[in-house]
Amino acid sequence: MANLLTRIKETVMADLHEVLDKKEKKNPIALLNQYLRECERETEKVRKLLERQYTLKEEFTREFEQAKELAGKRKRQAEIASQAGEEELYQFASQEHMQYEERANRLNDLLNQASQQMGDLERKYEEMKHKLKDMHIRRMELMGRENITRANCQMDKVLEDNGDKSFSRFNEIESYLDRLEHQVKSSHHRSTIDARIAQLEKELEKKPV
């Protein structure tokens, strides 16, 4: 029964990986966006844990300082009671001093552990932020490549579908410009001739017969 369940699990996982591979080939940016969202959620979890660790460290520090202060206070009181010959008061102050001293030592150990754990979380958090930033840059790179690929495909498609029409249109425009240039030149030439003939006629009229 266990072997059957294992085989079913392996088959399901294999199918899942196949689906993910196909999805990645079909739309790598969509899959990368999914990874980014997952990484952002995990990074946010670590950030919250780091904030809690800061709070714990502050609480451990506060409790440690308080226990250390009370331990010192009871120690001085025990010395005063001993010098005054107050045995009962001395015993009470000594016992309190020992309890606060033990508590301070324990809190100091917890504070050191919390500081070490906080350092580990800080390193992990910074590492995750760097990886997340790298993934964002990778996404921008892929988007840029995708845009270029789509643009090239679109241009190739236009040229393939309308290549002959496009070149024919260019030839028509070029021929039209040639005709237009010829008409402008001819018109200019004719106007120049007309002006010259008119000038000659005026000069002839002024000459005596």
DSSP characters for the chain?
-HHHHHHHHHHHHHHHHHHHHHHHHH-HHHHHHHHHHHHHHHHHHHHHHHHHHHHHHHHHHHHHHHHHHHHHHHHHHHHHHHHHT-HHHHHHHHHHHHHHHHHHHHHHHHHHHHHHHHHHHHHHHHHHHHHHHHHHHHHHHHHHHHHHHHHHHHHHHHHHHHHHHHHHHHHHHHHHHHHHHHHHHHHHHHHHHHHHHHHHHHHHHHS--
pLDDT at res. 8: 55
**Residue 121 maps to which CATH number?**
1.10.287
pLDDT at res. 156: 67
Per mean pLDDT, which range of 1-5, 78-82, 139-143 is the poorest? 1-5
pLDDT at res. 75: 92
Residue 198 covered by a domain: no
- When divided into structural domains, the chain yields a total of 1
Residue 207 covered by a domain: no
**Mean pLDDT, range 23-42, rounded to an integer:** 75
- Which of the four pLDDT bands, split at 50, 70 and 90, describes residue 65? very high
pLDDT at res. 34: 82
pLDDT tens, residue by residue, 91-131: 999 999 999 999 999 999 999 999 898 888 888 889 888 88
Residue 72 covered by a domain: yes
Residue 23 covered by a domain: yes
pLDDT tens, residue by residue, 124-154: 889 888 888 888 888 888 888 777 877 777 7
Residue 170 covered by a domain: no
Residue 190 covered by a domain: no
Asked if pLDDT for residue 160 goes beyond 70, the answer is: no
Residue 178 covered by a domain: no
* Containing structural domain, residue 17: 2-164
Residue 174 covered by a domain: no
Quick check: pTM over 0.85?
Answer: no
